[in-house]
Chains A and B, each alone.
Chain A
């Protein structure tokens, strides 16, 4: 069944392209139906699955002479992320209910992007995964370049080139792995059992990790993220921060770490106090956390605050991966889900609820409008989402970041302190943005208060959906952990746990 998430999304995109021009309402309905169908399939499969073991959905020969297969499967990690994609996709369509210009094309690109994302999470043939990964690049470009704002063409091109450079690095590692393993198969399960020579893993791991890491916002390759998020239309920035950055993190875990676990081993010598790729990337992740938070603190543009906060929060995912502790990895996957939902929500508040009404994202201007009174729903949503993302207990962000920090405590004790500083700055920038955007001192509160259209029904539903997802996971994390933990203990990840010194 899960495979249909992919087919329905691409099918929907095709239908939308063939629809006659001007049928805005029909386009929205088709897009919503396709997204809902994807979510329904994901939820149904998630509910049915007792634990997170790998289950193959489709496996047929694709190119026999090269040993390539069309192999779709899902374990707990894939399942979690497919669920996330479903939720964000539906919310994204609801938040783009006001798109009028070239709506058919907008939703066609949107669904094509969603289809590619589902495909990446479900592929268990390395080349197939790469195919879907690249399919997702192109729609992003057009979504931003056509429907974006602030310097959209620059941001779109930057995003496309960063993604493509990253995927070029991945492609090199992927072809090399294929050839070194004997050029008979690209099956992820089989490749993960292949003992690649250590010296090969030592260069393939960082190459592939950075390649995927670019999309996950790994510092210092993150610069596409804030500009891209800011320029993108609301639904696209929700997808970018919500699921596309997760593609990168997922690739880091699923491909780089799973296939080349020995690449994380110590080098045997030290450079600037760093003794392995693991320490290098943990440090970069940490810098990302603190740097993202500090830059977010001084932004004038509301959307840039959220954009940089994404970099900061994705740092936790990468840090969690580098702990190589059970709890740290659990936390990383959980954080992918949590950040996906919350970043989506925050971008929706900024882009759709506020910017589409006030036509400004400048925090000083917003602070004069006392939006807290004018748009109470937006203010309430932002407060809740902000609290969730700074890690208030009861929301998903708390469980995820706590686990990451515990894992980090065991692996890199010093880093916990610095990450803690990052969290404190996180509270500060969220508070600042909230204060300035919604609760600024208003000099003439009567002016313009009635000028904005009220928050519409689709926006309310979508906001509720995302908030509910965060709260449910925050109160009952076992819901996801039940499938994530067995997945991380499957034989595919053996290499990761067995590594020499750990």
Chain B
């Protein structure tokens, strides 16, 4: 038994490193830096967090694992580990972007919570056990609720967090209910065993209920229609860096686990979403959710004047595109999903970084607040140009290749998905309109003031690195693809 525990410590070492980092960040601040200047405290906490993430990445790279431990409790392979690295990298960038914020005096608590959320994400991609999935999801969600509420001076932030929490708690209840029914049907919490038990068996009503409940729970996490109502308010109200984490890392982990549960665990109950040839199962449901997400997300985004809300609705649209890969569920489409999710996360992280900069200078995030930014902060504007065009799917940026890969792999897996691919491409044509509106404001609008905007060097560098990453990953996608 002791050997088992020691073995387990070794397996979860990266997560342990991050947890210890979180504790260090907290204790360093509480024990020694209480009296220090805010700037010093923020710098120490940021450096510690980044170092911790880097150490965890280093550990994963140094000691790659391929294991299946316990009853699917820990299942790690190269792909899962690379996704963990991506999540850690996203957290690092978020932490660096957050370092410029002045919305709280409790920076160490803030960063510690961010690290705990990251642990949740990392566990989420390394397990195939219903129990651990739920626990990891709760760890992630609870941290995010608090992160969303962290701007105590803002009513919006509190409102956003409360909404997020209420929706989240209900959907967690749904998920738990769904999982318990799944357990009841299959007598196991391991996704692999569940798939075996369901294989060939007729769809009984209990299983259908379980599938629906699970879909509700996970659909909330990825903000797919009709479980998306929290997204615009949270994106708008939460502090920029919290919103960035919710929109980026948590999305990647959410999609990863949604894919695992549906494709791995419920393989026997997929049904069919073919245009003619409907069969009950999760496929038709996911197809409808995907179509609704694309249409609603993109159309409602057109009407937005707040850039944060615009990003939220566009995120709903992007969730629709990503659901296509789940419908295709081949190895190729899984790698397409991961490529898309990771590059999307990177892009949207950068976009929130720019939003944070603009808010600090102009005090708001509506299109009018962005007017003429190109004259006042050329570099930041150029970064935003890259992010928006990538989200719209303009080549040679990462967003274009992601879309191409997702659509090609979906069509390659099943010609019957053509109708969804056509819908997706049509909707991405719509999306160009609202992304261009943002860019129009930045490049064409008249600036409110002449003075150049002073952006801290760290933020400038991070934004430039992210923009460069989006360009490079778009031009040479193999850099990322060979890891997935």
Contacts and interface: CB of A to CB of B under 8 A. Distances in A.
A175 B394 contact: no
Interface in A194-215: none
Interface in B399-456: 400, 404-405, 407-408, 411-412, 415, 418, 421-422, 425-426, 428-429, 432-433, 436, 439-440, 443-444
A167 B425 CA distance: 10
A172 interface: yes
A135 interface: yes
Given A65-B481, A130-B395, A131-B400, A164 B407 contact: no
B304 to A, nearest CB: 16
Contacts of B404: 127, 171, 175
A175 B478 contact: no
A165 B429 contact: yes
B477 A138 contact: no
Contact of A134 (B400, B405, B422, B444): B400
A161 interface: yes
Interface string B441-481: 00110000000000000000000000000000000011001
Interface stretch (A140-148, A240-248, A288-296): A140-148
Interface stretch (A81-89, A176-184, A260-268, A415-423): A176-184
Nearest to A180: B415
A135 B408 contact: no
A502 interface: no
Most B-side CB within 10 Å, residue of A17, A131, A141, A175: A175
A66 B382 CA distance: 31
B426 A142 contact: no
A134 B395 contact: yes
Contact of B478 (A64, A141, A176): A64
A164 B426 CA distance: 9
Interface string B78-114: 0000000000000000000000000000000000000
Contact of A135 (B395, B411, B444): B395
A137 B408 contact: no
A135 B405 CA distance: 18
A160 to B, nearest CB: 6
Contacts of A175: 404, 407-408, 411, 421
B421 to A, nearest CB: 7
A130 B396 CA distance: 10
A153 interface: yes
Contacts of B415: 179
A222 to B, nearest CB: 18
B444 A146 contact: yes
Contacts of B407: 171, 175
A65 B422 CA distance: 24
A91 B443 CA distance: 26
A168 B425 contact: yes
A63 B478 contact: yes
Interface of B is mostly: helix
Contacts of B481: 63, 65
A153 B408 contact: no
Interface string A226-268: 0000000000000000000000000000000000000000000
Contact of B395 (A131, A141, A153, A160): A131
A161 B428 CA distance: 11
Given A135-B396, A153-B440, A160-B436, A168 B428 contact: yes
B444 A66 contact: no
Nearest to A160: B436
B432 A164 contact: yes
B400 A66 contact: no
B394 A138 contact: yes
Contacts of B444: 142, 145-146, 153
A157 interface: yes
Contacts of A137: 394
Interface residues of A, number: 32
A154 to B, nearest CB: 11
A58 to B, nearest CB: 15
Contacts of B426: 168
A172 B422 contact: yes
Contact of B425 (A65, A66, A127, A171): A171
Interface in A15-68: 17, 63-66
Contact of A157 (B422, B429, B436): B436
Nearest to B408: A175
A135 to B, nearest CB: 6
A127 B477 CA distance: 14
Contacts of B19: none
B427 to A, nearest CB: 9
A17 B440 CA distance: 18
B389 interface: yes
Nearest to B403: A171
B423 to A, nearest CB: 10
B429 A164 contact: yes
A153 B433 CA distance: 12
Nearest to A182: B412
Contacts of A183: 408, 412
A176 B395 contact: no
A66 B408 contact: yes
A161 B429 CA distance: 7
Contacts of B411: 175-176, 179
A145 B446 CA distance: 12
A168 B393 CA distance: 11
Contact of B436 (A132, A141, A165): A141
B389 A138 contact: yes
Given A138-B389, A157-B433, A179-B408, A172 B443 contact: no
A183 B411 CA distance: 10
B340 to A, nearest CB: 14
Contacts of B428: 168
B444 to A, nearest CB: 5
Nearest to A17: B382
B269 to A, nearest CB: 27
Nearest to A146: B444
A157 B439 CA distance: 11
A145 B436 CA distance: 11
A212 to B, nearest CB: 15
Contacts of A165: 429
A131 B432 contact: no
A82 B433 CA distance: 31
A1 B412 CA distance: 37
Given A135-B396, A145-B444, A178-B408, 18 more contacts: A64-B478, A65-B478, A65-B481, A131-B396, A132-B395, A137-B394, A138-B394, A157-B433, A160-B432, A164-B432, A167-B429, A168-B425, A175-B404, A175-B408, A175-B411, A175-B421, A176-B411, A179-B411
28 contacts: A17-B382, A63-B477, A66-B405, A130-B395, A131-B400, A132-B395, A134-B395, A135-B395, A137-B394, A138-B389, A141-B436, A146-B444, A153-B440, A153-B444, A157-B433, A157-B436, A160-B436, A161-B429, A164-B429, A164-B432, A167-B429, A171-B407, A171-B425, A172-B425, A175-B404, A175-B407, A179-B408, A179-B415
Cβ-closest 8 pairs across A and B: A131-B395, A168-B429, A179-B411, A164-B432, A145-B444, A168-B425, A164-B429, A165-B429
Interface of B: 382, 389, 394-396, 400, 404-405, 407-408, 411-412, 415, 418, 421-422, 425-426, 428-429, 432-433, 436, 439-440, 443-444, 477-478, 481
